[in-house]
Amino acid sequence: MSDHIQTSGRFGTAVSSSVERNKVMRNTYWLLALSMVPTVLGAWIGVQTGITAGLTGGLGLIVFLGGAFGFMFAIEKTKNSAAGVPVLLAFTFFMGLMLSRLLGAVLGFSNGSSLIMTAFGGTAAVFFVMANLSTIIKRDLSGMGKWLFAGALAIMAGAIINVFVGSTAGMAAIATLAILVFSMYLLYDLKRIVDGGETNYITATLGLYLSVFNIFQSLLALLGIFGGDRD
């Protein structure tokens, strides 16, 4: 009898854990989809008004890094409160504004709209592949974290240097590395949710959003460099 109770207890715990993981995943996907609305709005306002056009060189770098890290700090502080979601959405609006300079440059090409749609489709395809792999792969991927973080730091350092160097080849190399690193980050973060390693859907959404944003931005930069048509 006691064995039956213990077995039932373990079964109940497993079911509860599975339900919790599914809840986190469902809430994360919904919030990630919602976060695209302020991103698009911010990007549209930025393109239409040209409000970010003057944020070039060191000034643009300071505004972007200061705003991004400030918002991420605020998200971390509010992730367990009612303010967490509004702060995250405000961050995605800011990121849309920051993206508008690249979008405006790409829209300067005669095929700019198609390049943006191609980058969007490519990003969606990467997300779909990584989301499916995260449910298929049984291996623990937690060891990837430190290598991916090192890769992200290398990308950031390279991007900061290239702001002052202004090398097109350097930008292409950084964008290519970013696509690889943040695609793996997508898989890493999705697998953590699937395995129950991430239980806060706001934190989970932030991680996925940053990967999606960087993949889209990097794809768009590469398409603009190699596929932009001035005619």
- The residue written with tokens 């109940």 in the block is 12
Average pLDDT (144-162) is 90
Average pLDDT (22-31) is 91
pLDDT of 61 reads 79
Whether 84 has a pLDDT exceeding 90, the answer reads yes
Q: 130 falls in which pLDDT band (50, 70, 90)?
A: very high
Averaged pLDDT of the chain: 87
Q: Which two tokens stand for residue 214?
A: 């960087």
pLDDT of 10 reads 44
Whether 169 has a pLDDT exceeding 80, the answer reads yes
The predicted model scores a pTM of 0.88
**17 Cβ partners below 8 Å, 6+ apart?**
196
pLDDT: is 10 or 121 the higher one? 121
Q: Which two tokens stand for residue 125?
A: 């395809």
What count of residues does the chain have? 231
pLDDT: is 202 or 1 the higher one? 202
Whether 9 has a pLDDT exceeding 50, the answer reads no
pLDDT of 16 reads 54
Whether 46 has a pLDDT exceeding 60, the answer reads yes
